């Protein structure tokens, strides 16, 4: 048991800090998820399957 009681101001400040930490954590997770979805949803086209590229027309001659 602590020798002194915790002041009400410290309890309020800890509550605000906890809330702010949760909000910042949620924001970081949101940015990570949006970035992950954007990166993985792009159509990656390689030179051998792009219409009109020299690699795709080389075997058609």
Q: What is the mean pLDDT of each run of 10 residues along the chain (61 residues)?
A: 79 93 98 92 64 58 49
CA 1 centroid distance within chain:
42
Given a contact cutoff of 8 angstroms between Cβ atoms, the answer to whether 49 and 56 are in contact is yes
**List of long-range contacts for 46-50, beta carbons under 8 Å, 24+ apart:** none
CA distances from 22 to 12, 18, 29, 54 (A): 15, 6, 11, 53
What's the confidence (pLDDT) of residue 27? 98
What's the confidence (pLDDT) of residue 6? 81
What's the confidence (pLDDT) of residue 39? 86
What's the confidence (pLDDT) of residue 4? 81
In angstroms, what is the C-alpha Rg of the chain?
A: 28
């Amino acid at each position: 048991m602590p020798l002194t009681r915790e002041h009400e101001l410290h309890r309020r400040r800890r509550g605000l800090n906890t809330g702010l930490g949760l909000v910042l954590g949620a924001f970081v997770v949101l940015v990570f998820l949006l970035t992950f979805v954007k990166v993985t949803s792009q159509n990656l086209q390689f030179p051998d399957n792009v219409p009109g590229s020299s690699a795709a027309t080389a075997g058609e001659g």
